[in-house]
Amino acid sequence: MATTSIADKLAKLEKKIAKREKAIADETKELDKDRAEYNKLYIMFLSDKFKLSGKDLFSVIEREHEQLEKLREGEQSDDDADSNSSVTDDEEKQDDTAVKPSYAFPN
């Protein structure tokens, strides 16, 4: 008798789980639709704000992104150049800060 009770509970839970999985799948599908609509409206808003067509807006964003990437690469290059400075550069820095006598030796 206890076996039947457990089997009944398992069957009920299986139905409950299946029902919830379907509800989650439906909600996920609805959420994806809402996100797509939100993104579409946001692009339309930006297009109106900057007075650009969708294609022109995409081109501007793409160009700005490329410039940002170039800047990032440039920053890394500058950092690399600083870390790889030669001894000559260090000596020049020391010469700039060294105390120099105000007198000259006679020839």
**How many domains is the chain partitioned into structurally?**
1
pLDDT-derived band at 98, boundaries 50, 70, 90: low
Over residues 2-25, the mean pLDDT reads: 93
Angle at Cα 48 formed by Cα 47 and Cα 52, nearest 5°?
50
Closest by CA to 44, choosing from 59, 54, 55, is 54
Q: Is the model's pLDDT at 104 over the cut of 60?
A: no
41-95: per-residue pLDDT in tens?
999 999 999 999 989 999 999 999 999 999 999 887 555 555 555 545 555 555 5
Q: Which two structure tokens, joined as six digits, stand for 82?
A: 């600083």
Residue 14 counted as domain residue:
no
Residue 101 counted as domain residue:
no
- Please indicate whether residue 105 or residue 58 has the higher confidence score (pLDDT): 58
Domain that holds residue 59: 20-67
Enter the pTM of the model.
0.52
Q: How many CA atoms lie within 13 A of 5 on its CB side?
A: 2
Would you state the pLDDT for residue 29?
Answer: 98
Would you state the pLDDT for residue 96?
Answer: 53
Residue 11 counted as domain residue:
no
Residue 57 counted as domain residue:
yes
